[in-house]
Amino acid sequence: MKLRLDILRRKNADSEPYLQSIMFETDNENATVAFALTNICSGENVTDVEGKPVSPIVWEHSCLQKKCGACAMVIGSRPRLACDARLAEFAAEGFVRIEPLKKFPVVADLMVDRSAVFDALKTLGVWANGEVGAPDRTDETAYEASRCLQCGCCLEVCPNFYAGGDFFGMAAAVPASRLIDQLDPEQRKELSAGYRKKVYNGCGKSLACRDICPAHIDIEKLMSASNSAAVWSRLHALFGRKNRGVKK
Amino acid sequence: MGNVIIIGAGLSGLSAAMTLAEKGQSSLLVSAQPSERAQSVLAEGGFNAAADTMGENDSTALHFEDTMKGGVYLADPNACAALAENAPKLLEKLISLGAAFNMADGKPVLRNFGGQKKKRTAYAKASTGKMIMSALIDEVRRYESKGLVTRYPHHKFVSLIVSDGECCGVFVQDIYTKKITAMFGSVILCCGGMNGFFPEMTTGTTANSGYVQAEIFSQGVAFANLEMLQYHPTTIGIPGKRCLVTEAARGEGGRLFIKRNGGNYYFMEEKYPELKNLMPRDVVSREMYLTRRQTDCEGEVMLDMTGLSEQVWSERLPDLRQELKEQLGLDPAKEPVPVREGIHYFMGGIFVDEFHRTCMRGLYAAGECACQYHGANRLGGNSMLGAVYGGSKAAQQALADGVKSAEGAADMSKAAFEEARPVFIKKISDILLGALGIVRNEQTLRAALDELGRLSGSNSDETARLELARAMLMSAAERRESRGAHFREDYPEKDERLRRTLVAQLKNGEVALEFRDLPERRVGDEAQT
């Protein structure tokens, strides 16, 4: 398999981006974009299609098996994990365009600064002050919520998210859904308020995040659980007296 | 004012930071990538603790015995006794943090794992590491909000700051700005295994490059049992790495076979009627390797999970099934999976005592980077336990020793970061792989040492890597016996005289090896079982 990789590169945050095209050939039919980048970086005297030497490409990677979220980038105009993007998908076109995620500041080449993702979790206060306690049976919501890779793919496609903005997106909402109905009343109130302000109010329900998640997290289910804990339970509380009155 | 610097934000690093914070001690948590990218998230099968929730009369004494036996009695018995003794409490703690374990009636469900006769492995489907990490990351975030943990994300370790033979801090580099700074205080290394010495050939992450180990070895820190590499029996090849198929696949009933005379030969079941497919990993890997070479056997060893019930697939291993479908394009519930042995864990590493102190005052190590608990072969389910317990133990010891000052002076001219070229790393790796396979012998090891001697590094990291690689090969040559993961066809038996820790250290520019006696098991210790 032979493919042209068009990589949007940039020496550092202040320099101009440029497109570098590199031919990559492999007999591994399962080869991924991550595999190609690794091999290009570890090769000797690699040149681009114009014969110019290719300096090592800066990109983040770690597990190479879709479990850590490090290698998220825009591949063929979709945000995805480089270790999950098989070159064979692009073989018919003969090329694939590889760019850094656009919602985050570029550090160099394909590496972006995703601090905003982690800052949001801190601002939102995603932790438990007290013990969460042992559930009677396997807590499927906690399991699903704990699977988030913090890769940023969902934020990349979200029409409402931008780094540093008021809307935190699903990369904050999903981990929050692990805890939101598990907290003591005071902290639950705080996290719920944050959730309404930073997630619920800003979400346009485009659900673009649902289809792009490389971990296939059931975002709708988690959102509905969190909405129930942070939004509807508040409405119940507000109108609770009346409701209870009706019941009586 | 005292300070603790933790290098690495995986399971052991988070555990150390949490323990320090619980005791009111602030720490700096340094990592090149966020905790979500740490290798710990890949851990699949489970977390060992004799919580005895399955009505099998399990005990911490049996956990201790299995750990020692599985490691072929090369581990520190006092450290292992304390590990087993503390495991149920640590499991409870993780559950109280909300780690999403498989539960029934408010108690963790335990499953069978290799080398253990009781159900002792708590799990979260086949994503146990990810579930534990998510809970610990949130807990450490709580301490971040209190100012007790300060993260230094996108920072990598450059070198130790050593003064009069004591470690008093580290140089780190900001990956984004390339700026190198000095940090002072006690240092806990939680930097994972040496995967980077075997690129593409391990189940681990590329983030564990082995840079830290090579650098500190060149700075005089002692290592131990470097010959002890764990080959996991069931891995599959995916682009750029080996991918683990959890031992839980066999714990839940998966069977290994190979084609022989047209039929299926279930070699583990025939040879080991008691534990069958759940023998310790060193035994299974060796049997696979040898069976594949039998003239009457053909093809790959297959892992047959077609007999697992729908309930097991849906409640206990749904993630494994999904992964194999995506990676191999086959459904393991319907057809067997071809598997091979792959490098999975480094039992050897930084030489530490029972309290996780290295040979250098002020420097501690925990998790996979440290040589502790696992002897000559690690039991599945003991690595995450070892990381959580070890990180905590190292933190407690740093406090007990009196944490070092956050103030200091360092010669910044000594703080240069140089990285080995991938092509050079590949050369070392090819030499190591040729000699440190499942079956080893003197001749191949000596030839590999000669070959390594013909290489010379072009920068400090390359030179340091050469020395540590040399120490690995020399250790394997020096241990003239077969024990656990170290099988010597020229010395196929155990030699009780060598039931000792093999310590490697760079002295005057040369690798020096020394067998040291294992600590005697203390009697009357509260951690005794």
Q: Given CB atoms, is B105 within the 8 Å cutoff of chain A?
A: yes
Q: Which residues between 175 and 234 in chain B have a beta carbon less than 8 angstroms from any beta carbon of chain A?
A: 175-176, 199-200, 205-207
The DSSP letter of residue A47 is B
Give per-residue pLDDT as tens, A152-211: 999 999 999 999 899 999 999 999 999 998 999 999 999 999 999 999 999 999 999 999
Chain A residue with the nearest C-alpha to that of B44: A67
This prediction has a pTM of 0.96
Instruction: Retrieve residue B266's tokens.
Output: 């279930």
Amino acid A110: pLDDT: 98
B232-341 matches B195-211+226-231+417-516 in CATH topology: no
Q: Given CB atoms, is A60 within the 8 Å cutoff of chain B?
A: yes
A194 and A171 inside one domain:
yes
Q: Which domain holds residue A140?
A: 115-247
In the predicted structure, residue A245 carries a pLDDT above the cut 50: no
**Domain residue limits, chain B:** 4-190+344-405, 195-211+226-231+417-516, 232-341
Picking from B98, B106, B206, the nearest residue to A62 by CB comes out as B206
User: CA-to-CA distance for B445 and B71, rounded, in angstroms?
Assistant: 23
Alpha carbon dihedral B155, A171, B127, A76, in 10-degree steps, equals: -80
Give per-residue pLDDT as tens, B127-159: 999 999 999 999 999 999 999 999 999 999 999
Amino acid A247: pLDDT: 31
**Residues sharing a CB contact under 8 Å with residue B53, sequence separation 6 or more, in sequence order:** B107, B108, B109, B110
Q: Which residues between 188 and 217 in chain A have a beta carbon less than 8 angstroms from any beta carbon of chain B?
A: none
CATH classification at residue A150: 1.10.1060.10
Count: domains in chain A? 2
Residues of B in contact with A41 (CB under 8 A): 422
Secondary structure element (H or E) that encloses residue B390, with its range = helix B382-400
Instruction: Retrieve residue B386's tokens.
Output: 């070892």
Q: Given CB atoms, is B422 within the 8 Å cutoff of chain A?
A: yes
Residues of chain B with pLDDT under 50: 526-529
The pLDDT of A62-81, averaged and rounded, is 98
In the predicted structure, residue A227 carries a pLDDT above the cut 60: yes
Tokens 């002897």, residue? B375
Contact check, Cβ <8 Å, A44/B205:
no
Contact check, Cβ <8 Å, B240/A62:
no
Helical segments of B205-258, H only: 211-218, 248-251
Amino acid B529: pLDDT: 37
Distance in Å, alpha carbon of B149 to nearest chain A alpha carbon: 13
A93 and A162 inside one domain:
no
CB A97 within 8 A of CB A77: yes
Q: Given CB atoms, is B325 within the 8 Å cutoff of chain A?
A: no
Contact check, Cβ <8 Å, A67/B239:
no
Picking from B130, B134, B145, the nearest residue to A67 by CB comes out as B130
User: CA-to-CA distance for B380 and B248, rounded, in angstroms?
Assistant: 9
| Ranges assigned E (strand) in B153-295 | 155-163, 166-174, 180-184, 186-189, 223-224, 229-238, 241-244, 255-260, 263-265
A161 and A46 inside one domain:
no
Chain A residue with the nearest C-alpha to that of B123: A138
Picking from A63, A122, A136, the nearest residue to B103 by CB comes out as A136
Amino acid B414: pLDDT: 80
Chain B residue with the nearest C-alpha to that of A150: B36
Contact check, Cβ <8 Å, B238/A132:
no
User: CA-to-CA distance for A206 and A154, rounded, in angstroms?
Assistant: 11
Write down which residue in A87, A112, A137 finishes a domain. Answer: A112
User: CA-to-CA distance for B111 and B248, rounded, in angstroms?
Assistant: 8
Distance in Å, alpha carbon of B175 to nearest chain A alpha carbon: 9
User: CA-to-CA distance for B211 and B197, rounded, in angstroms?
Assistant: 9
A223 and A175 inside one domain:
yes
Contact check, Cβ <8 Å, A70/B101:
no
Amino acid A60: pLDDT: 98
In the predicted structure, residue A238 carries a pLDDT above the cut 80: no
Contact check, Cβ <8 Å, A68/B42:
yes
Best of A131, A143, A183 to disrupt the B interface by mutation (most B CBs within 10 Å)?
A143
The DSSP letter of residue B111 is E
A100 and A140 inside one domain:
no
Residues of B in contact with A137 (CB under 8 A): 103-105
Amino acid A236: pLDDT: 65
Q: How confident is the model at residue A243 (pLDDT cuts 50, 70, 90)?
A: very low
Residues of B in contact with A150 (CB under 8 A): 34, 36
Residues of B in contact with A149 (CB under 8 A): 36
Per DSSP, what are the bridge partners of residue A99?
A74
Picking from B95, B145, B239, the nearest residue to A32 by CB comes out as B239
For chain A, what percent of residues have pLDDT higher than 70?
94
CB B165 within 8 A of CB B155: no
In the predicted structure, residue A240 carries a pLDDT above the cut 70: no
Alpha carbon dihedral A13, A14, A19, A20, in 10-degree steps, equals: -80
User: CA-to-CA distance for A233 and A226, rounded, in angstroms?
Assistant: 10
Write down which residue in A92, A112, A132 finishes a domain. Answer: A112
Contacts A–B by Cβ distance under 8 A = 155
Chain A residue with the nearest C-alpha to that of B145: A122
SS3 of residue B102 by DSSP: coil
A90 and A134 inside one domain:
no
Secondary structure element (H or E) that encloses residue B93, with its range = helix B77-96
In the predicted structure, residue A246 carries a pLDDT above the cut 70: no
Exposed, middle or buried by CB within 10 Å (0-12, 13-18, 19+), for B449?
middle
Q: Which of B342, B331, B332 is nearest to B238 (CA)?
A: B342
User: CA-to-CA distance for A187 and B349, rounded, in angstroms?
Assistant: 43
Helical segments of chain A, H only: 33-42, 115-124, 140-145, 153-157, 170-179, 185-195, 208-212, 219-227, 233-247
A86 and A179 inside one domain:
no
Tell me which fold the domain B232-341 belongs to. Flavocytochrome C3; Chain A, domain 1 (3.90.700)
Amino acid B283: pLDDT: 97
- CATH H-level superfamily of B4-190+344-405: FAD/NAD(P)-binding domain (3.50.50.60)
A95 and A197 inside one domain:
no
Amino acid B524: pLDDT: 65
Instruction: Retrieve residue B492's tokens.
Output: 């196929």
Q: Which residues between 260 and 299 in chain B have a beta carbon less than 8 angstroms from any beta carbon of chain A?
A: none
Q: How far is CA B392 from CA A187, B67, B102, B169, B510, in A?
A: 27, 20, 24, 20, 34
Q: Which residues between 102 and 141 in chain A have a beta carbon less than 8 angstroms from any beta carbon of chain B?
A: 107, 113-115, 118, 121-122, 125-129, 131-139
Tell me which fold the domain B195-211+226-231+417-516 belongs to. Methane Monooxygenase Hydroxylase; Chain G, domain 1 (1.20.58)
CB B307 within 8 A of CB B344: no
Q: Which of A25, A27, A28, A22 is nearest to A9 (CA)?
A: A22
Contact check, Cβ <8 Å, A63/B39:
yes
Residues of B in contact with A37 (CB under 8 A): none
